[in-house]
């Protein structure tokens, strides 16, 4: 299927997310779409897949103008989209999700659905069991289910929006192999990403968006990485910001001094699901960035939630600046100056239907009239200070991922003493990730302790002052970043030479 858009325009208030876009994508190829967060990539894909309606311009499928009023219209026309967070019903099984989402004519019976599911999964080398509950699948398997559903419903064009976010390297390889197989069979694949190495590995062509417009059209791959970065970010592109060296003298603490730790954990034990984090003795110093490394489900998420009061330990004590908060609520931790930035910002971090002004109004406290002028003033100041592409009244869920992340960080009080971050740059492009880290490092230099978990070894090595490794529910002692190499860190994550910190009790 050939896709062409001409003069496509979409506005959200005064923001022109797509500004006269004209692009075409040939059938039987994998097309990369690059751009920084807020460039208009996701908006364009939602227009092509029927999730949004354009304010101007036209969409052509196989040279026929189409008017897509819903995702159902798009799927009937042969276009399906896989979102960053797969659309499924966690309480249902794999087969039940397939049945409830597909038209009756595509899957006329439960037996037919089971047969088609197993056949297509086998062809694509996917690991999907029809009776497995979806809430027990990995993000990668849920993504595989969504791909199978779209294909069984007749999709000939597949749109994937940041599909490798939150999946393992092995699952990414399986996904890439399946996409190549589909393209070879004639399908059109639109691959939206900010990861240049993935686009270089997978795509036949690449188009680049910036500020809602196309600044690079159907460039044949490979292309020099520096050229693509210049197209993505324009004159704003500079070398990546790295943390300053010689951190031993930072924050006014000379070598050998012992400031009061932000967190102290004594023989802490906590459990989530089948994983137990046991006998943790740990001190996290003030004014440091602590990176938590490990495979998903190794225990680092448990520690972050303990540090923010989102979980209570089964045993042991947690002190924040000397205050015992072992059994306290999350609000008590916030009163002590601890903030939490979750990986799923729209679920746990912000309220998507509210504006930044309304968020600041919520932070004014209980039992008083809302000062809307002050809330709007704070929103305008945050937009300017954090470079958020929005207005004070823009709904958070209308912003790009990078702008949502900046907005969430802008809501964190400047006086906070510790921030627990779960994948602080998840799904962000290079420039947006750099901007987030500039803000986090500024807070560190003001004395705040930043504890963050990330699956990205480069991010851990670039920004951490100290690193802890988690393996099967055990954690290592704190290690100085400059004493580790990426290779050694990868070995420790895999359990090679891993030595857990031991309890004194």
Residues 316 and 392 in one domain: no
Helices (H) and strands (E) in the chain, counts: 16, 21
Query: Over 60: is that where the pLDDT of 251 sits?
Result: no
Residues 58 and 191 in one domain: yes
pLDDT, tens digit, 9 for 90 and up, residues 430-452: 777 888 898 899 999 999 999 99
Query: Over 60: is that where the pLDDT of 45 sits?
Result: yes
Average pLDDT over residues 126-142: 84
Query: Over 60: is that where the pLDDT of 172 sits?
Result: yes
- Which of residues 289 and 245 earns the better pLDDT score? 289
Answer left, alpha or beta for residue 171, where phi above 0 means left and psi between -120 and 50 means alpha.
Answer: alpha
Contact criterion met (CB below 8 Å) for 173 and 93: no
38: helix, strand or coil: coil
Which candidate, 19, 20, 23, places its Cα nearest to that of 31?
Answer: 23
Domain with 302, as residue range(s), is 259-337+416-504
Q: What pLDDT score does 166 carry?
A: 63
Beta carbons within 8 Å of 86's beta carbon, 6+ residues apart: 139, 142, 143, 145, 146
Which candidate, 431, 354, 400, 455, places its Cα nearest to that of 84?
Answer: 400
152: helix, strand or coil: helix
Q: What pLDDT score does 257 carry?
A: 46
Residues 481 and 379 in one domain: no
Among the residue ranges 15-24, 227-236, 473-482, the one predicted with the least confidence is 227-236
Which ranges of 387-419 would DSSP assign to H, the alpha helix? 401-410
Residues 220 and 309 in one domain: no
Among the residue ranges 34-38, 71-75, 472-476, 482-486, the one predicted with the least confidence is 34-38
Residues 14 and 101 in one domain: yes
Structure tokens at 28: 């039987």
**Cα separation, 113 vs 106, whole angstroms:** 8
Query: Over 90: is that where the pLDDT of 245 sits?
Result: no
Q: Over the chain, what is the mean pLDDT?
A: 85
Cα R_g (the chain), whole angstroms: 24
Residues 105 and 188 in one domain: yes
**Which stretches of 342-491 are assigned E, i.e. beta strand?**
418-422, 449-453, 466-471, 474-475, 479-480
Contact criterion met (CB below 8 Å) for 86 and 150: no
CA 161 to chain centre: 11
Average pLDDT over residues 467-490: 88
Among the residue ranges 121-135, 156-170, 308-322, 474-488, the one predicted with the least confidence is 156-170
Residues 212 and 358 in one domain: no
Asked if residue 375 belongs to a domain, the reply is: yes
Residue the block writes with tokens 């399908």: 187
Q: Quick one: pLDDT band at residue 460, thresholds 50, 70, 90?
A: very high
Q: What pLDDT score does 354 carry?
A: 92
Percent of the chain past pLDDT 90, that is, above it, reads 39
Other CB atoms within a 10 A radius of the CB of residue 272 amount to 15
Residues 131 and 212 in one domain: yes
Structure tokens at 295: 């495979």
Give the angle subtended at the CA of 417 by the CAs of 415 and 419, to the nearest 5°: 110
Which candidate, 45, 48, 430, places its Cα nearest to that of 231?
Answer: 430
- Which of residues 33 and 101 earns the better pLDDT score? 33
- Which of residues 85 and 288 earns the better pLDDT score? 288
Average pLDDT over residues 228-248: 57
Query: Over 80: is that where the pLDDT of 165 sits?
Result: no
Residues 43 and 105 in one domain: yes
Q: What is the dihedral of CA 209, 215, 217, 221, to 10 degrees?
A: -80
DSSP state of 260: P
Q: Is the peptide bond before 293 cis (omega within 30 degrees of 0)?
A: no
Average pLDDT over residues 378-400: 88
Domain boundary among 377, 394, 412: 412
Q: What pLDDT score does 9 carry?
A: 92
């Amino acid at each position: 299927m050939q896709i062409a858009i001409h003069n496509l325009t979409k506005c959200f208030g005064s923001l022109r997310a797509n500004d006269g876009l004209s692009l075409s994508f040939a059938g039987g190829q994998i097309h990369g779409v690059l751009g920084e967060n807020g460039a208009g990539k996701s908006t364009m894909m939602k227009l092509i897949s029927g999730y949004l309606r354009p304010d101007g311009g036209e969409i052509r499928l196989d040279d026929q103008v189409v008017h897509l009023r819903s995702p159902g219209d798009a799927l009937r026309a042969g276009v399906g989209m896989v979102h960053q967070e797969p659309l499924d019903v966690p309480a249902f099984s794999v087969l039940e999700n397939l049945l409830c989402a597909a038209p009756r004519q595509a899957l006329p019976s439960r037996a037919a659905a089971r047969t088609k599911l197993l056949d297509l999964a086998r062809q694509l080398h996917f690991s999907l069991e029809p009776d497995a509950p979806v809430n027990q699948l990995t993000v990668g398997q849920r993504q595989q289910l969504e791909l199978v559903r779209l294909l069984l419903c007749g999709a000939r064009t597949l749109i994937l929006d940041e599909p490798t976010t939150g999946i393992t390297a092995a699952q990414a390889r399986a996904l890439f192999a399946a996409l190549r197989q589909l393209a070879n069979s004639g399908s059109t694949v639109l691959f939206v990403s900010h990861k240049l190495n993935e686009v270089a590995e997978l795509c036949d062509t690449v188009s680049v968006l910036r500020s809602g417009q196309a600044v690079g059209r159907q460039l044949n791959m490979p292309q020099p990485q520096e050229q693509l970065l210049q197209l993505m970010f324009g004159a704003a592109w500079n070398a990546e910001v790295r943390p300053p060296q010689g951190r031993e003298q930072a924050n006014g603490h000379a070598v050998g001094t012992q400031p009061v730790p932000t967190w102290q954990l004594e023989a802490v034990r906590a459990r989530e699901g089948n994983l137990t984090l046991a006998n943790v003795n740990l001190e996290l110093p003030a004014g440091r960035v602590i990176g938590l490394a490990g495979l998903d489900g190794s225990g680092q998420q448990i520690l972050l939630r303990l540090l923010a009061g989102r979980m209570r330990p089964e045993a042991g004590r947690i002190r924040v600046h000397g205050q015992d908060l072992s059994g306290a609520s999350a609000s008590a931790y916030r009163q002590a100056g601890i903030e939490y930035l979750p990986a799923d910002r729209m679920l746990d971090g912000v309220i998507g239907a509210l504006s930044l002004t309304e968020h600041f109004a919520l932070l004014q406290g209980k039992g008083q009239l809302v000062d809307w002028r002050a809330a709007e003033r704070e929103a305008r100041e945050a937009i300017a200070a954090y470079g958020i592409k929005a207005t004070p009244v823009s709904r958070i869920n209308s912003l790009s991922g990078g702008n949502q992340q900046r907005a969430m960080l802008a809501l964190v009080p400047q006086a906070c003493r510790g921030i627990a971050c779960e994948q602080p740059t998840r799904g962000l492009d290079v420039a947006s990730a750099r901007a987030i880290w500039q803000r986090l490092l500024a807070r560190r230099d003001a004395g705040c302790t930043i504890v963050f978990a990330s699956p990205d070894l480069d991010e851990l090595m670039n920004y951490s002052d100290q690193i802890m490794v988690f393996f099967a529910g055990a954690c290592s002692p704190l290690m100085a970043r400059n004493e580790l190499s990426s290779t050694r860190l990868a070995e420790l994550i895999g359990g090679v030479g891993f030595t857990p910190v031991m309890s004194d009790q």
